[in-house]
Chain A
């Protein structure tokens, strides 16, 4: 069964005075379990809007969105929050960690909103931090970590609830090339462990890591193809 099923998704923004902007004009995409998909497109192509819709941060104006068979497009705020909490792991370009909290607490946060008791919470957060290679940084605050480490904390936060998909928005945008490559390798590893990953980017280099590329233009799917000349894990490591 597919994880994400978008059918004819339209999203219009009301700009006032009867002026409307159509960010998405009928997008139909299906993403299956353990896929690694890159969504590409120039700015203004609607990829941010699409990410917000897929991430259940926003609801489409029309069209149907099925997430694991559930009709997300008709859910209310609280139900959406619950889907975001349990099923989706966000990784942002600017990391979006809580500045006043240490790594451990940042990773614990989704579990807090999931109502997990503190001992189990702490155990799972520690485990996940170790998983991304930051077991020894659990009591550091974001400003005491490097950019790459911050993004790893953010990835740990996305992973800790064992979500159905990981949704990454330009995850290497604020990192230097080498650190970016490391983060991409981490994604590769997570994918090989069975995670479903959706990557939003405008960089072909980054998109090249994915197994499937969906290109958007003017709010519509321009192309949707499997990547054949994919930069492999070993190639990336060698470069």
Chain B
């Protein structure tokens, strides 16, 4: 009860004091405003990078294993992998037959070719040969149309599914479905278009890709001296590790690798990327927030400075209040509340400035100011206020009433 009454009085006094020294309050608050703007924008940008990464990583599919000649991320020298044998398209069929823990397998072969459609063209787009099962072993989704069917895939029909960027480039004013594009001169009818993926790994998304049936790919563009990736979907996410062991066994058997010898292939998965990226992103985030946090720190020093001035200026007032019964606690609270109010106002103004700026950031890097950042920013400005107000407030609270009353 006591405390509440005093808190209300404290808030009233501080608002009055802030209003009485408008210019000074504005300048002091500016430090906090700048601090909060930089911290929240940094947090928003970090959020954007994380989102972009998550989105990109999602394109690989969480339950998909990639059997490949090279590991995605490795500390070892390139030449240790260079002499490994390439995977073969037929391996996919063998795996499909032998594996019990997976429910979809698709071989994937990629090359670069020129695409044309009437007057429009696209230089060196990625052309990928795969089977009808591809949709099950990737994270992509179709915007319109369909993926090619098993019959079209097996029969090497001249059909294709194109990525969003390809569709935009070749069909600027027209729906691509049922139209024919030429891949290195060979005609393919578009049956489906992928949704736009964007993200960090431009080359690995479907955006700049054309998917054609594997059999057609091999006859038109050849399959020798190309790296095949075999993408496999694990039936139950919980059996990821078992599935990896099973695939490893199948591959070792196919390649007749003696026990005790190392694998000459790698089984990659999305997790490798996230596991590698997470600590990097953490370091970037910590450094970024630390550096921008410095500006908030400087703002806090500004608050502390002005609170010392405020306490000295109001020595007489402190004396009066003490004479009529204010305890140390009451005086301490009064100045803490004032410092916190200054910072809180700064924090709110900072957020009001940072929010429209975050919308600009959003244009470059899709992001949104996270609600947690807003809450944390408000909390931080309060904490900065209380910390930087503490020393001045403590000095005020410890004043001798007789001395303070005598002060002119």
A contacts, CB < 8 Å to B:
52, 55, 57-58, 77-78, 81-82, 84-86, 90, 92, 96-98, 100-101, 109-110, 112-118, 157, 161
Q: Are B1 and A115 in contact, CB atoms less than 8 angstroms apart?
A: yes
B326 on interface, CB distance cutoff 8 Å: yes
Smallest CB–CB gap between B272 and chain A, Å?
63
Q: A112 with B322: in contact, given A78-B327, A81-B327, A96-B405 (CB under 8 Å)? A: no
Interface residue B323 (Cβ < 8 Å from any Cβ of A): yes
User: 13 pairs across A/B with beta carbons < 8 Å?
Assistant: A57-B401, A57-B402, A81-B322, A82-B327, A85-B326, A90-B323, A109-B324, A112-B9, A113-B327, A115-B1, A117-B1, A118-B8, A157-B324
Query: Is B320 a contact of A77 with CB atoms below 8 Å?
Result: no
Q: How far is the CA of A166 from the CA of B330 in the complex (A)?
A: 23
Q: Does B238 contact A (CB under 8 A)?
A: no
| Residue numbers in A under 8 Å from B55 (CB-CB) | none
* Contact mask for chain B residues 311-325; partner A; CB cutoff 8 A; 1 contact, 0 none: 000001101111111
Interfacial residues of chain B within 378-408, with CB under 8 A of chain A in the complex: 401-402, 405
CA distance A150 to B182 in the complex (A): 95
How many inter-chain residue pairs (CB < 8 Å) link A and B? 70
Residues of B within 8 A of A84 (CB): 322-325
CA A78 – CA B401 in complex, angstroms?
A: 12
Task: State the majority secondary structure of interface residues on B.
Answer: helix
User: In the complex, A96 Cα to B323 Cα: how many Å?
Assistant: 10
Q: How far is the CB of B398 from chain A (nearest CB, A)?
A: 9
Which residue of the partner chain A has the closest CB to B324?
A110
Contact of B323 among A57, A112, A116, A118 (CB under 8 A): A57
The reply to whether A98 and B5 contact each other, CB–CB distance below 8 Å, is no
B196 at the interface (CB under 8 A from A): no
Quick one: which of A81, A86, A115 contacts B6, CB cutoff 8 A? Answer: A115
Identify the closest chain B residue to A55 (Cβ): B323
Q: In the complex where A100-B16, A113-B330 touch, is A90 in contact with B402 (Cβ < 8 A)?
A: no
**How far apart sit A109 and B322, CA to CA, in the bound complex (Å)?**
11
Whether B325 lies near A117 (C-beta < 8 A) is no
Shortest C-beta distance, B330 to chain A (Å), equals: 6
Report whether B402 and A77 are in contact in the complex, using a CB–CB cutoff of 8 Å: no
A113 and B401 contact, Cβ closer than 8 Å, known pairs A98-B317, A100-B16? no
Task: State whether the Cβ of B2 lies closer than 8 Å to any Cβ in chain A.
Answer: yes
- State whether the Cβ of B20 lies closer than 8 Å to any Cβ in chain A: yes
CB-based contact A112/B5 at 8 Å: yes
> B319 contacts which chain A residues (CB < 8 A)?
96
> A118–B319 Cα gap in the complex (Å)?
23
Rounded to whole angstroms, the CA-CA distance of A113 and B330 in the bound complex is 8
Known: A85-B326, A110-B324, A114-B325. 8 other contacts (CB 8 A): A52-B402, A85-B325, A96-B316, A96-B405, A110-B325, A113-B327, A113-B330, A157-B324
Residue from B323, B330, B402 whose CB has the most chain A CB atoms within 10 Å: B323
Interface size class of B (residues with CB under 8 A): 20 to 34
Of A85, A90, A115, which contacts B5 at CB under 8 A?
A115
Q: How far is the CB of B216 from chain A (nearest CB, A)?
A: 84
Give Cα distance in the complex from A157 to B320, angstroms.
11
Q: Is the CB of A100 within 8 A of B20?
A: yes
The closest CB in chain A to the CB of B322 belongs to: A81
CB distance from B9 to the nearest CB of A (A): 5
- Please name all residues of chain A whose beta carbon is closer than 8 Å to the beta carbon of B328 when the two chains form the complex: 77-78, 81
A contact residues around B327 at 8 Å (CB): 77-78, 81-82, 113
Residue of B nearest to A90 (CB): B323
**Measured CA separation A157–B402 after assembly (Å):** 19
Residue of A nearest to B20 (CB): A100
**Which residue of the partner chain A has the closest CB to B316?**
A96
Contact A113 B323 (CB under 8 A): no
A81 to B400, CA, bound (A): 12
Q: Out of A52, A92, A109, name the residue touching B321 (CB < 8 Å).
A: A109
Q: By the criterion CB–CB under 8 Å, are B325 and A82 in contact?
A: yes
A114 and B17 CA atoms in complex are apart in Å by 23
A-side contacts of B2, CB under 8 Å: 115
Known contacts: A52-B402, A96-B405. The answer to whether A113 contacts B16 by CB under 8 A is: no
Q: Report whether B324 and A85 are in contact in the complex, using a CB–CB cutoff of 8 Å.
A: yes
Cβ of B8: which chain A residues have Cβ within 8 Å of it? 118
A110–B321 Cα gap in the complex (Å)?
8
Determine the chain B residues whose CB is within 8 A of the CB of A90 once the complex forms: 323-324
In the complex, residue of chain B having the shortest beta-carbon distance to the beta carbon of A82: B325
In contact, A113 and B324 (Cβ under 8 angstroms): yes
Measured CA separation A114–B326 after assembly (Å) = 9
> In the assembly, what is the distance between CA of A86 and CA of B327, in Å?
12
Chain A residue at minimum C-beta to C-beta distance from B406: A48
A118 and B325: CB pair below 8 A?
A: no
Contact check: which of A52, A96, A98, A113 meets B325 at CB < 8 Å?
A113
CA distance A198 to B321 in the complex (A): 21
Contact of A113 among B1, B6, B402, B405 (CB under 8 A): B6
In the complex, what residue of chain A is closest to B330 when comparing beta carbons?
A: A113
From B1, B20, B326, B402, A81 is in contact (CB under 8 Å) with B326
Residues in B whose Cβ lies below 8 Å from that of A114: 325
Instruction: Write the chain B residue with the least CB distance to A115.
Output: B2
Q: When chains A and B are docked, how far (Å) is the Cα of A90 from the Cα of B326?
A: 13
Contacts of B323 in A (CB 8 A): 55, 57, 84, 90, 96
- CB of A102 to closest CB in B, whole Å: 11
Please name all residues of chain A whose beta carbon is closer than 8 Å to the beta carbon of B324 when the two chains form the complex.
84-85, 90, 109-110, 113, 157
Complex CA–CA separation, A78 to B397 (angstroms): 11
B-side contacts of A97, CB under 8 Å: 320
* Chain B: minimal CB distance from A137 (Å): 19
Name the residue of chain B whose CB is nearest to the CB of A161: B325
